[in-house]
Amino acid sequence: MKRYSRQTLFSPIGVDGQERLRRKHVLIVGLGALGSSIAETLTRAGVGKLTIIDRDYVEESNLQRQLLYSENDAMERMPKAEAAKRRLNEVNQDVEIHSIVGDADVPLLERLAPNIDLIMDGTDNFDTRFMMNDISHKFHIPWIFGSCVGSFGSTFTIIPGKTPCLQCLLKKLPMRGQTCDTVGIIAPAVQMVTAYQTAEALKILSENQWALRNTYVTFDLWQNQTLSIKADSIKNADCYTCGHYPTYPYLQYEATTKTAVLCGRNTVQIRPATSTNCSIAVLADQWKKAGYKVSANPFLVSVLKDEHRMVLFKDGRALIHGTNDITIAKRVYHSLIG
């Protein structure tokens, strides 16, 4: 097919590989900077079907790095999943796009999983990534982790039964706790991460698994640093997700972040699955440097973000004041906490 002629000329894909791409179904969770770039690349590549999920809407601050969206999308506050679908249909009508405006929660992921060939990480928080990690292993679906903030990015390809999972990885290679709302981000860092992610995706979808990278890659474009770490040895036989006796803990209710609308207070409470010991002083300093109005005492920190105020307690529990909408509350929470 002429449309894909340059891609089929690339011998590892070829005509047969292109036909394999056409038969595949990819789930993209999150349509921010990473997810929107992934979605466009895979749509242009001719992947047969994409299911795209996002709970958020387009804002003006997204336009600097989220390539699928327009100023009109931001002015209309279009849900990202719908705005992305509209643009992707303009890019390639041969690709079936199924959009979902909402949370990627456990029931939804379990319902979608049996028909998925690959999961792509476009999220901005580890709650969702841990669920994706468990879904991946429970249903034996490969998934590709990606993360970026500032000029820093990282990515890792996870193949159930072969590679370490995200839980194994985090025990040895702790991630940064920063967010785009606190330290910013430059668009080239996004494009570098998605270049790695989508290259790996094309290998899996065209059935060229022999070419997959077996390292965790991290880089800082501003500091001109790149590190590739061989990860095979960190796979943990006792891991609850990928070990010999998996229990998939993040698919259990007890391991999920709990939310509750506080009656009559225009406030949503968000409580992490496990109690933490937040560093109030560190967070207060980080948010002040980002330009937010912050106050703190030894027990909690309060931060004002736009029209919402978040109060975070030392145990990780947060109150988001100024909304009864759980989706909005989660967006505020994750933009500040990561």
In the chain, domain spans = 2-251, 257-337
Question: Is 263 among the residues known to form the active site?
Answer: no
Domains 2-251 and 257-337 share a fold: no
147-156, 173-182, 313-322: range with lowest mean pLDDT: 173-182
| Pairwise CA distance, residues 338 & 327, whole Å | 15
Q: How many beta carbons lie within 10 A of that of residue 76, not counting itself?
A: 12
Residue 21 pLDDT > 90, yes or no?
yes
**HSE toward the beta carbon, residue 51, CA cutoff 13 A:** 18
Angle between helices 33-45 and 80-91 (to 10 degrees): 20
| Of 97, 222, 231, nearest in space to 166 by CA | 231
Give the model's pLDDT for residue 208: 97
Spatial neighbors of 53 by CB under 8 A, at least 6 apart, are: 27, 28, 29, 30, 31, 81, 99, 100, 102, 104, 108
Spatial neighbors of 170 by CB under 8 A, at least 6 apart, are: none
pTM score, whole prediction: 0.83
Give the model's pLDDT for residue 274: 67
Give the model's pLDDT for residue 312: 85
The residue whose two tokens read 């933009």 is: 335
CA angle 143, 53, 179 (to 5 degrees): 75
Q: Per CATH, which fold does 257-337 belong to?
A: TATA-Binding Protein (3.30.310)
What's the pLDDT tens digit per position in 248-307? 999 986 667 777 777 667 888 888 776 667 788 888 888 898 899 998 887 778 899 888
Residue 223 pLDDT > 70, yes or no?
yes
Residue 175: band (very low, low, confident or very high) from pLDDT cuts 50, 70, 90: low
From the number of C-beta atoms within 10 Å of its C-beta (0-12, 13-18, 19+), residue 301 rates as buried
Beta bridge partners of 226: 219
Give the model's pLDDT for residue 180: 80
SS3 32: coil
**Two structure tokens written together for 135:** 């879904």
Q: How many beta carbons lie within 10 A of that of residue 309, not counting itself?
A: 17
Q: Measured between alpha carbons, how far is residue 94 from residues 37, 68, 77, 216, 221 in Å?
A: 18, 18, 27, 34, 35
Across the chain, mean pLDDT equals 91
| Pairwise CA distance, residues 39 & 27, whole Å | 9
The residue whose two tokens read 């560190």 is: 282
Give the model's pLDDT for residue 238: 94
32-46, 64-78, 234-248, 311-325: range with lowest mean pLDDT: 311-325
Domain 2-251: give its CATH superfamily.
NAD(P)-binding Rossmann-like Domain (3.40.50.720)
Say which of 148, 180, 239, 242 is annotated catalytic: 180
Give the model's pLDDT for residue 268: 87
Give the model's pLDDT for residue 255: 67
Mean pLDDT across the stretch 323-337?
A: 87
| Pairwise CA distance, residues 62 & 59, whole Å | 5
